[in-house]
Amino acid sequence: MLIDFFYTLKKAGLPVSLKELLALLEALEQQVIFASVDDFYHLSRMCMIKDEKYFDRFDQAFGHYFHDLEMIEDFESFLIPHDWLNPDWIKNLSDEDKAKIEALGGFDKLMETLKKRLEEQQKKHQGGNKWIGTGGTSPFGHGGYNPEGVRIGGESRHQRAAKVWEKRQFKNLDGAAEMNTRAMKMALRKLRKFARTGAAEELDLSGTIKSTADNAGLLDLKMRPERHNAVKLLVFFDVGGSMDYHVQQCEELFTAVRAEFKHLEYFYFHNCIYEKLWQDNHRRWEENISTWEVLNTYGDDYHVMVVGDAAMSPYEITEPYGSVEHMNEEPGHVWLRRITEHWKKLVWLNPVPEEYWSYTHSTQMLNKLVNRHMYPLNLNGLQDAIDALAK
Amino acid sequence: MTRFTGTDQYVATDDLQLAVNAAVTLQRPLLIKGEPGTGKTMLAEEVAAAMGKRLLCWHIKSTTKAQQGLYEYDAVSRLRDSQLGDEKVHDIKNYIKQGMLWQAFTADEQVVLLIDEIDKADIEFPNDLLVELDKMQFTVYETGETIVARQRPIIIITSNNEKELPDAFLRRCFFHYINFPDKKTMEEIIRVHHPELKKNMLNAALEVFFEVREVPGLKKKPSTSELIDWIKLLVADDIPIEALQNKSIKEAIPPLYGALLKNEQDVHMLQKLAFMMRRDSR
């Protein structure tokens, strides 16, 4: 009974348990739904999935199970890019290609052929993942306007009404996807550590009872301070240069940390941390603060987040005078070592997706320098980083 | 048994109806999540109204303990009464206050129990309720009495996603995520709240609303409850339909925008956007 379905979900990395499968079977037995796939989709989702961040993955696995495709990855992005249907790209084609298109009977004919080919593939390969346009003979691969090619699978592109799970409307809620401020705040909240500091304003009931008992029954009120979040956070942001592409992500992170932490200090640097940091980007040359001062001011009880893409020339880390902007007497790695030695709780958040890190030498070097505590700046990465900080 | 199909005041989508009916049939708690302002808390009220059952609300705060839902032992009044020599003091039952779960368990007929904003409580809160929700019974430690549910209440739990709920708890619930309503559902919802509103006015308002929602980078997107408030204001102020029609929000800020946007920065951004558009079109 639905055992294959259960294993399909499991294989897709969804946290499903036997208890939930039994609940689903019970619901089917009680005839909550009547022979409708849409209803079954909703029912199975509400029984098996308990967090909307898994909805997208569930949609894919559900589609996979009901279409019996070969690989779950096949479900990723298989719609025709809009460019293809937009005749504008024709302008970009070479004369040779244009001639070829003419030979095939003009643009409309070409699109017709594409459609037919898609249908053929659907029938022959059951929604397989053949690359259109890489064969060398297909007219779709010549122009070079889409060097990646396009994978075709599923069936929504045939103008058939898309099924609920094919709409993939919960794509944004997947944890590995990008995040928003609110999601970030939730992740940061895990770092909260409550401590009683400040004025004694709250009645300490157990203390009162104890001291009243000690006092032979005469009431002796005890007060204690309220609990407040006592975590202190220090954030270093890389600004300028290649970081311009990640401004929005950094802004969101900044908003989130500002809302969550009372003890928050932040400094900017460029590419790598050297002897100077600054707090106001407009006046970075006039008003800066020596890194030594920062090291001495903020104790080792601070948690540190470094936010940067870690993409630079390796010389900026290894060599004195390696910085692209100024003459630094000591190389970046010396400063980083000082920082990691002073603050034991340190993570590096990198807005560049993890897959690309291995292509940049400096990223690997820095990851090593921060003792492998570099995490991608997405929701999962942030959560891992917070876990590492909270340890 | 009656099936829940929404009420005069509440538009329930098919999947929400299915979720409620499945939870009622299988007697499992239903966990509801969704964007703020999509009617999570209202659902319990409407389910109770539609099924003709009494509603018990247990609103959770950050200081709420699971124990308070079962019962509370008022030691302080007993201490006071003992010093005053009150007769009541000899029976401990006089000082045990029933919590919401107890009331729901021992009610004469099935009730709807709303546990509102469960994520506000301490992280251990849901775990402390596992057995009680599973077995629908608990023991009063002070008297040794066991309270068993006469009938399992319909339990609806809402969460705003401020904390992750423990897996063991989630496994015992059904889960439904109230998606942001599409245009058609939204029209139905507005109809329910403002039946007198003219069709073209409604369309114009909805258009503005969805356009505002699509402005990139808004800190807080307006939600259903804000739309309803806004329309209420539009009607009350007798805003002419021309004020809404044929005007992109990029050209003019919608009238009474304060009801839609609750954040100063968002208002600022809309104004800037409008300014830039005007400048460009010149």
How much is the pLDDT for A102? 60
CB–CB of B25 and A27 under 8 A? Answer: yes
* Option in B22, B25, B162 nearest A46 (CB): B22
Answer for the pair A17, A48: CB distance below 8 angstroms, yes or no: no
Q: How far apart are CA B170 and CA B115, in angstroms?
A: 14
Name the band, by pLDDT with cuts 50, 70 and 90, for residue A126: very low
Give the mean model confidence (pLDDT) for residues A61-78.
57
* Option in B21, B165, B179 nearest A32 (CB): B21
Name the band, by pLDDT with cuts 50, 70 and 90, for residue A118: low
Min Cα–Cα distance to chain B from A336, Å: 34
- A116 against A20, higher pLDDT: A20
Answer for the pair A335, A319: CB distance below 8 angstroms, yes or no: no
CB–CB of B26 and A27 under 8 A? Answer: yes
Q: How far apart are CA A77 and CA A152, in angstroms?
A: 8
Residues for chain A: how many in total? 391
> Has residue A133 got a pLDDT over 60?
no
Look at phi and psi of residue B85 and say left if phi exceeds 0, alpha if psi is from -120 to 50, else beta.
left
Per CB-CB distance under 8 Å, the chain A contacts of B175 are 45-46, 49-51
Name the band, by pLDDT with cuts 50, 70 and 90, for residue A147: very low
Among A44, A46, A251, A254, most B C-beta atoms within 10 A, so best to mutate, is A46
> Has residue A245 got a pLDDT over 90?
no
Residue B155, both tokens: 């339990």
Lowest mean pLDDT among A128-142, A246-260, A264-278, B164-178: A128-142
Give the mean model confidence (pLDDT) for residues A149-173.
47
Q: How far apart are CA B210 and CA A130, in angstroms?
A: 39
Min Cα–Cα distance to chain A from B242, Å: 34
How much is the pLDDT for B1? 56
CB–CB of A46 and B167 under 8 A? Answer: no
Using a CB–CB cutoff of 8 Å, tell me whether A252 touches chain B. Answer: no
> Has residue A377 got a pLDDT over 90?
no
Among B3, B26, B176, B213, most A C-beta atoms within 10 A, so best to mutate, is B26
Answer for the pair B110, B153: CB distance below 8 angstroms, yes or no: yes
Answer for the pair A179, A378: CB distance below 8 angstroms, yes or no: yes
Going from the C-alpha of A75 to that of each of A61, A132, A154, the distances in angstroms are 9, 16, 7
Per CB-CB distance under 8 Å, the chain A contacts of B21 are 32
How much is the pLDDT for A131? 41
Using a CB–CB cutoff of 8 Å, tell me whether B276 touches chain A. Answer: no
Per CB-CB distance under 8 Å, the chain A contacts of B219 are 181
Per CB-CB distance under 8 Å, the chain A contacts of B19 are 42, 46
Among A51, A59, A167, most B C-beta atoms within 10 A, so best to mutate, is A51
- Going by C-beta distance under 8 Å and a sequence separation of 6 or more, which residues neighbour residue A141? A132, A133, A134, A135, A149
CB–CB of B173 and A50 under 8 A? Answer: yes
CATH number belonging to domain A231-390? 3.40.50
Using a CB–CB cutoff of 8 Å, tell me whether B33 touches chain A. Answer: yes
Tell me the sheet residues that pair with A196. Answer: A227
Min Cα–Cα distance to chain B from A213, Å: 13
Using a CB–CB cutoff of 8 Å, tell me whether B26 touches chain A. Answer: yes
CA-nearest residue to A33 within chain B is B18
Lowest mean pLDDT among A145-154, A177-186, A305-314, B202-211: A145-154
How much is the pLDDT for A143? 34
- A312 against B243, higher pLDDT: A312
* Option in A26, A52, A248 nearest B177 (CB): A52
Average pLDDT, chain A: 72
| One-letter amino acid of A355 | E
Among all chains, which residue has been given the structure tokens 């709807």? B112
- B228 against A138, higher pLDDT: B228
Residue A85, both tokens: 């249907």
Domain ranges within chain A, ordered by starting residue = 3-73, 82-153, 198-228, 231-390
Residue B20, both tokens: 């409620």
> Has residue A250 got a pLDDT over 90?
no
* Option in A17, A42, A170 nearest B171 (CB): A17
Give the mean model confidence (pLDDT) for residues A38-54.
86
How much is the pLDDT for A148? 35
Using a CB–CB cutoff of 8 Å, tell me whether A47 touches chain B. Answer: yes
Going from the C-alpha of A344 to that of each of A112, A271, A303, A390, B175, the distances in angstroms are 63, 22, 8, 11, 40
Using a CB–CB cutoff of 8 Å, tell me whether A51 touches chain B. Answer: yes
Answer for the pair B253, A215: CB distance below 8 angstroms, yes or no: no
Answer for the pair A325, A253: CB distance below 8 angstroms, yes or no: no
> Has residue A82 got a pLDDT over 80?
no
Min Cα–Cα distance to chain A from B233, Å: 29
How much is the pLDDT for B111? 93
**Residues of chain B falling short of pLDDT 70:** 1-2, 246-252, 280-282
* Option in B18, B28, B164 nearest A23 (CB): B28
Using a CB–CB cutoff of 8 Å, tell me whether B214 touches chain A. Answer: no
Min Cα–Cα distance to chain B from A367, Å: 29
How much is the pLDDT for B112? 93
> Has residue A163 got a pLDDT over 50?
yes
Q: With a threshold of 0.85, tell me whether the complex ipTM lies above it.
A: no
How much is the pLDDT for A73? 42
Using a CB–CB cutoff of 8 Å, tell me whether B218 touches chain A. Answer: no
- In this prediction the pTM is 0.60
* Option in A17, A47, A186 nearest B162 (CB): A186
Name the band, by pLDDT with cuts 50, 70 and 90, for residue A169: low
Lowest mean pLDDT among A117-131, A170-184, A298-312: A117-131
Going from the C-alpha of B152 to that of each of A360, B5, B106, the distances in angstroms are 60, 21, 10
Give the mean model confidence (pLDDT) for residues A224-233.
77
Using a CB–CB cutoff of 8 Å, tell me whether B18 touches chain A. Answer: yes
Angle, alpha carbons B258-B158-B61 (nearest 5°): 80
How much is the pLDDT for B102? 92
Give the mean model confidence (pLDDT) for residues A204-221.
81
Answer for the pair B240, B201: CB distance below 8 angstroms, yes or no: no
How much is the pLDDT for B113? 94
Using a CB–CB cutoff of 8 Å, tell me whether B219 touches chain A. Answer: yes
Model pLDDT for residues A85-111, shown as the tens digit of each residue: 444 545 555 566 666 656 555 555 555
- A197 against A72, higher pLDDT: A197
> Has residue A193 got a pLDDT over 60?
yes
* Option in B26, B165, B167 nearest A15 (CB): B167
> Has residue A33 got a pLDDT over 60?
yes
Tell me the sheet residues that pair with A229. Answer: A194
Name the band, by pLDDT with cuts 50, 70 and 90, for residue A72: very low
